Amino acid sequence: MAVFCAILLTAAPPGLAGEAGGAFVKIDGRESLVRSIELFLNRDPIKHLILVLSPDVAEETKRRHGAHLSFSGVKAITAGPRWMDQIRAAAEALPPDVTHAILHDAARPVVPYTDIDALLDSAEGASAVALSTPVRTRLVELDEGEQPVACHLPNQYVHLLTPQVYSAAKLKEMAASQREAHASELKLLKGSPLNVRLGTAGDAALAKAMLHLLPKPKIKSSNPFEEAQW
C-alpha cells in the first residue's frame, strides 16, 4: 500500500523567482500556506507532512504557526530560497516508510479535493503525476530582450500545476541531480482552473472568490476546529 508524504514548498517555482511571497498572502486573515496544508489533512494515505521554509522567514513562521503546525502533525524544515533547494531538503527529510511524495506550491491554496483524490489514485505504477489545465489563448515567445520572436497555438501547451506526485525514488533522483522530472516522464491529469497561484496580496480577493466555488469534502474528523475550516 502506498504511503504518501505531502511536501509544501514556500519557494517560487522556476521562472517565478520574484513571486516567492505568495505562500504568505493572507485570505480572510489566514495565510495561503496554512490553507494549503489543510488540503492534505484527514487523508488516510497521507501519513506525513513537511513544510519547507527559507531561512529569512523560518523563525517568524514557526512563531506564528508553531502550535497549528504541531497540532496538524506538520514537520517544518529550513532550506535555501530556490525551488530545487527545498526539494533537496525535503528529500533528505523524507521518512523511510514513504513510497510517494506530493509536492505542492504553498502559494496554491485553491485545489479541489477531487483533484487530490485523482492524484493519489494515479500514483501507483507511475514515477511522476501532475495536474494540468489547458492554455486558452495563443502564446508569444520572447527573446532575452523580451522582444516577440514567435507565436504558438494554445493546443500545443498546457499549464503545469501542483500538487504533483512522485515516487520516493524519483524525488530523491531529482534532488541528487538538481533537475526536475523531464516532461516525457509526467503522467498528466486534467486539473481545475480554480487552482491559481498567488503572487501578491492583490490576489487575495481572487483566491477568496475561488475558495467559495470549491466543492466541500466530507471530512472524517471529530475535531470541530478542522471542520470549521470548511
* Residues forming beta bridges with residue 133, ordered by sequence position: 159
Q: What is the pLDDT of residue 230?
A: 44
Q: What is the pLDDT of residue 181?
A: 95
Q: What is the pLDDT of residue 182?
A: 95
d(CA 212, CA 126): 33
Residue at grid coordinates 503522467? 187
Taking a C-beta distance cutoff of 8 angstroms, is the pair 73, 46 a contact? no
d(CA 7, CA 37): 9
Q: What is the pLDDT of residue 149?
A: 96
Q: What is the pLDDT of residue 16?
A: 82
Q: 3.90.550.10, 3.40.50.1820, 3.40.50.10800, 3.40.50.2300: which CATH number matches 4-132+160-228?
A: 3.90.550.10
d(CA 136, CA 176): 36
Per-residue pLDDT of the chain (230 residues; tens, 9 = 90+): 899 999 999 999 988 866 678 999 999 999 999 999 999 999 999 999 999 999 999 999 999 999 999 999 999 999 999 999 999 999 999 999 999 999 999 999 999 999 999 999 999 889 999 999 999 999 999 999 999 999 999 999 999 999 999 999 999 999 999 999 999 999 999 999 999 999 988 899 989 999 988 887 765 554 554 545 54
Q: What is the pLDDT of residue 220?
A: 57
DSSP class per residue in 46-98: EEEEEEEE-HHHHHHHHHHHHHHHHHHTEEEEE--SSHHHHHHHHHHT--TT-
Those residues whose C-beta lies under 8 Å from the C-beta of residue 190, and which sit 6 or more positions away, are: 131, 132, 133
Residue at grid coordinates 499549464? 159
Those residues whose C-beta lies under 8 Å from the C-beta of residue 163, and which sit 6 or more positions away, are: 6, 39, 102, 103, 104, 111, 115, 116, 119, 131
